[in-house]
Amino acid sequence: MFETLPTLVPDPILGLVAECKRDNNPNKIDLSVGVYKDESNHTPVMAAVREAQIRYLESETSKVYQPPGGTENFIGKVNELIFGESHPALKDNRIATVQATGGCASLHLAAKLIMRANPDAKVWLSDPSWPNHFPLLSSTGINIELYPYYDSESHSVSFDKMVSTLENAGAGDLVLIHASCHNPCGADLTKEQWRILTELAQKNGFVPFIDMAYQGFGLSLDDDAYGIRYMSEHLPEVVVCNSFSKNFGLYRERAGSLSVVVSDAQQTPTVMNQALNVARGIYSMPPAHGAALVETVLSNPDLRDMWHSEVNAMRERIVAMRSALADGIAALGCDRDFSFIKQQFGMFSFLGLTETQVDRLKTDYSVYIIKSSRISVAGINPGNLPYLCRAVSEVVKL
């Protein structure tokens, strides 16, 4: 039977990571993978998470299944983090939130739930978007459309074209929007642009489908949730997929959540029931450990304050590396302007290089980035920065 299966093309990012590991150049730099790294090029266990783990293990008395939607306290703390403690939709009991096994499962779970509610649903994705959005959503049979998002000439959001295209999104459609720190381009919506999109959703009837994987890495934990909170206050329905991989460093623990804002509190238990039924057919019961660490941190003021400080420090390091990269290239006399990198947010940015220039970075300098020229800014540190600046300034001369 299995001899009929064709060999698939390897994942391009995982392939680059493997290629970089085989590279013997002591100056090699891997900017391909979307994982936060500190100044020593290490992805640490956050101090708040480490302490939460100690406390949780000391209090854990059983490995029995936890509630399929997550513990009540976990859900409550997650809702407060995403929507704010006094959000009107929370007060009105219009939010159905369930634990998910990471952001990927949250997206897939949301797509399957949407298909149950409306088999003819269409999801509009930004062009570009995170590549994994396509398989996670389309594998459910949901229809995918694209809307323009990034202007490669101005290195900013192509908002007028975005709005013009989304005029075609109507009732029954969903528009997937990155909450902050857009992956892969790093160009984010302003508060005014969020408000304009909300007005368009009100007029046309489409449902915002918001993916938040980097809360706290853009401006702040609250500012990065602005679009979610504003839309959930002014629109009858919003879908939110959330991940704790980055801002808690829980990559391998697979902790996340799915929240559905509904128009009437009477719909909340039905949506919750349907979401749990979908999850039952995918992974049955969610893992406890990662969610328990999030719950422990958010439930203890001392750990929460520690976590806030750590998230702030990670964001500030990324911002500093953005500025240092742009300024470092400019200091070498490069005639290409990379100052746009300083105006973007989060872990990613397009350098605006051609595929030939990307290949030269790899073959001549052992700098590994994906062909679109997207870099993970979090992979830059003071030790590799001068070499990276020199490599980029040299390949753009060609």
Q: What pLDDT is stored for residue 279 in this prediction? A: 93
Per the CB < 8 A criterion, the answer to whether 65 and 271 are in contact is no
Measure CA 225 to chain center.
Answer: 12
Q: Tokens 């980029």 identify what position? A: 392
382 lies in some domain: yes
161 lies in some domain: yes
Per-residue pLDDT of 316-373, as tens digits, reads: 999 999 999 999 999 998 989 999 999 999 999 999 999 999 999 999 999 999 999 9
pLDDT at 34 over 90: no
126 lies in some domain: yes
> How distant, in Å, are the alpha carbons of 83, 114, 339 from that of 93?
12, 20, 45
pLDDT at 11 over 80: no
Amino acid at 267: Q
Per the CB < 8 A criterion, the answer to whether 353 and 373 are in contact is yes
Distance (Å, whole) CA 109 – CA 80: 21
Query: Which is catalytic among the residues 124, 130, 194, 307?
Result: 130
142 and 251 assigned to the same domain: yes
Number of domains in the chain: 2
155 and 235 assigned to the same domain: yes
220 and 324 assigned to the same domain: no
Given 278, 299, 320, the domain boundary residue is 299
DSSP string, 199-236: HHHHHH--EEEEEES-TTSSS-TTGGGHHHHHHHHHSS
Q: What pLDDT is stored for residue 148 in this prediction? A: 97
17 and 143 assigned to the same domain: no
Helix, coil or strand: residue 55:
helix
Query: Which is catalytic among the residues 211, 224, 307, 362?
Result: 211
55 lies in some domain: no
The residue ranking higher by pLDDT, 38 or 240, is: 240
Query: Which is catalytic among the residues 28, 37, 246, 362?
Result: 246
Per the CB < 8 A criterion, the answer to whether 369 and 31 are in contact is yes
84 and 28 assigned to the same domain: no
Distance (Å, whole) CA 64 – CA 48: 25
Per the CB < 8 A criterion, the answer to whether 46 and 294 are in contact is no
Q: Which residue in 108, 109, 111, 150 sits closest to 127, CA to CA?
A: 150
Residue 112 falls in the annotated catalytic set? no
pLDDT at 398 over 70: no
DSSP state of 66: P
Given 299, 332, 360, the domain boundary residue is 299
60 lies in some domain: no
Amino acid at 199: E
309 and 276 assigned to the same domain: no
288 and 368 assigned to the same domain: no
Residue 371 falls in the annotated catalytic set? no
Distance (Å, whole) CA 239 – CA 208: 6
Distance (Å, whole) CA 31 – CA 374: 8
- Which band of pLDDT confidence, cut at 50, 70 and 90, is reported for residue 87? very high
What CATH code is carried by the domain that includes residue 238?
3.40.640.10
49 lies in some domain: no
Phi, psi of 368 (to 5 degrees): -105, 115
pLDDT at 165 over 80: yes
Per-residue pLDDT of 192-243, as tens digits, reads: 999 999 999 999 999 999 999 999 999 999 999 999 999 999 999 999 999 9
Mean pLDDT value across the chain: 94
Per-residue pLDDT of 89-105, as tens digits, reads: 999 999 999 999 999 99
Residue 211 falls in the annotated catalytic set? yes
Given 299, 319, 349, the domain boundary residue is 299
Tokens of 162: 């975005």
57 lies in some domain: no
295 and 182 assigned to the same domain: yes
317 and 369 assigned to the same domain: yes
Per-residue pLDDT of 111-153, as tens digits, reads: 999 999 999 999 999 999 988 899 999 999 999 999 999 999 9
233 and 289 assigned to the same domain: yes
Q: Tell me which H or E stretch contains 258.
A: strand 256-261
120 and 240 assigned to the same domain: yes
Q: Which residue in 351, 340, 338 sits closest to 379, CA to CA?
A: 351
Per the CB < 8 A criterion, the answer to whether 250 and 293 are in contact is yes
21 lies in some domain: yes
Tokens of 131: 């590549």
Q: What percent of the chain has pLDDT over 70?
A: 100
Q: Which residue in 375, 377, 324, 326 sits closest to 350, CA to CA?
A: 375
Distance (Å, whole) CA 208 – CA 142: 15
What CATH code is carried by the domain that includes residue 21?
3.90.1150.10
Distance (Å, whole) CA 328 – CA 341: 12
Per-residue pLDDT of 179-206, as tens digits, reads: 999 999 999 999 999 999 999 999 999 9
| Whole-structure pTM value | 0.92
- Which band of pLDDT confidence, cut at 50, 70 and 90, is reported for residue 20? confident
Per-residue pLDDT of 299-320, as tens digits, reads: 999 999 999 999 999 999 999 9
158 and 204 assigned to the same domain: yes
Per-residue pLDDT of 58-67, as tens digits, reads: 998 999 998 9
β-pairing, 156-157 vs 150-151, is antiparallel
Task: Give the domain range for residue 14.
Answer: 10-44+304-395
**Would the CA dihedral through 211, 109, 68, 269 be positive or negative?**
positive
